[in-house]
């Protein structure tokens, strides 16, 4: 299993998923961390500092703001742990079969260990509605 965590620096958990500079990907084998990699976020406009007019509606046919880059980049991850994300991204990731945890934990490795112990807090209401 693989777990994706947004991170600006590879060491801390970002509070906004789509604006993070990259993602820490943890590989889990037998309920323990067996690998860790950092994937640069070169697939979202937010992370690249691009600002564009778009509507964050929930219509999947809306082409103005696609999350296909994130979905493709994290296709091999089953779990996503973040400090926050937009409601539409939350929905898109969930529809792609990802389990999403919105946590107050800021240390990525601690978050993964708490997840593996079934002790990670999750508050999906913290998703912003933009």
The pLDDT of residue 61: 43
Strand 99-102 versus strand 79-82 pairing type? parallel
Tell me which fold the domain 2-126 belongs to: Nucleotidyltransferase; domain 5 (3.30.420)
Checking if the pLDDT of 18 tops 80, the result is: no
Using a pLDDT cut of 90, give the percent of the chain over it. Answer: 55
Contact 127, 102 (CB under 8 A): yes
pTM metric for this prediction: 0.81
Pairwise CA distance, residues 93 & 90, whole Å: 5
Pairwise CA distance, residues 49 & 127, whole Å: 21
User: What is the residue extent of each domain of the chain?
Assistant: 2-126
Checking if the pLDDT of 27 tops 80, the result is: yes
């Amino acid at each position: 299993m693989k777990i994706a965590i947004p991170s600006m620096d590879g060491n801390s958990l970002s509070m906004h998923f789509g604006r993070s500079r990259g993602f820490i990907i943890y590989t889990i084998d037998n309920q323990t961390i067996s690998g860790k990699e950092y994937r640069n976020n070169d697939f979202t406009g937010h992370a690249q500092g691009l600002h564009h007019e778009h509507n964050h509606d929930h219509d999947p046919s809306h082409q103005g703001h696609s999350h296909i880059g994130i979905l493709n980049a994290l296709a091999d991850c089953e779990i996503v742990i973040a400090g926050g994300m937009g409601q539409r991204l939350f929905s898109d990731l969930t529809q792609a079969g990802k389990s999403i945890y919105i946590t107050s934990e800021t240390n990525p490795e601690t978050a993964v260990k708490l997840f593996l112990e079934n002790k990670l807090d999750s508050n999906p209401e913290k998703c912003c509605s933009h």
